[in-house]
Amino acid sequence: MARSVLTVRDLDATPAGGRIAVPPGTIVTPLAREEAERRGITIEFKEVGRGTEAEVQPSRVVALGADHGGYDLKEQLKEHLRAWGYTPLDLGTSSREPVDYPDYAETVASAVVRGDAWRGVVIDSAGIGSSIAANKVPGVRAALCYDRATARNSREHNDANLLSLGARLISAEAAREILAVWLETPFAGGRHQRRIDKIRVIEERHRKA
């Protein structure tokens, strides 16, 4: 069974200088640890009773797919996901042998839409092709991100449910940080929800055309 994970969002209800209790073995994400230190929050590892505010949300399934250009980065990110308490769903490819990115982008996008995965990540050399292919699947909002700011924006403003990365345009460390921010950033809602609703209307209009 995957271990619990403490993210930045889990700290929202804890005041500066306060304490938050988490079960033994909980994975504390890098961003959560940084935020706790910044706000002077103490993280205590102890048994947490049922129904307390400090309960940690269960780990979620994240689908991963890559062509040959993104294979190595996919394997690295898969290990990071496990370390953070998520459950990676590896949908290929399984080697550096040349393959076509649309196949894997569609597979990951479909897994997200079906509910087999909470979110998805697709990787090719530049990330552009995979994001285009994934966005052809109704219900997917794939975002090509290349730094922490674009990762955060894609979640806060666009409620992106699929992340696209270009393995040959960013470092493995940058990709790790982008993924961490993207997974931990909640959708802001409000005026952004109205715009997401309009995106869905456009999608429906052209699906019926």
**Could you list the active site residues?**
157
DSSP-assigned letters across all residues of 126-145:
SSHHHHHHHTTSTT--EEE-
- How distant, in Å, are the alpha carbons of 13, 33, 149 from that of 89? 31, 26, 26
Strands 61-66 and 5-6, sheet pairing: unpaired
* Number of residues written out for the chain: 209
Structure tokens at 209: 């055309």
Between CA 117 and CA 111 the distance in angstroms is 6
Nearest to residue 123, comparing CAs of 80, 77, 159? 77
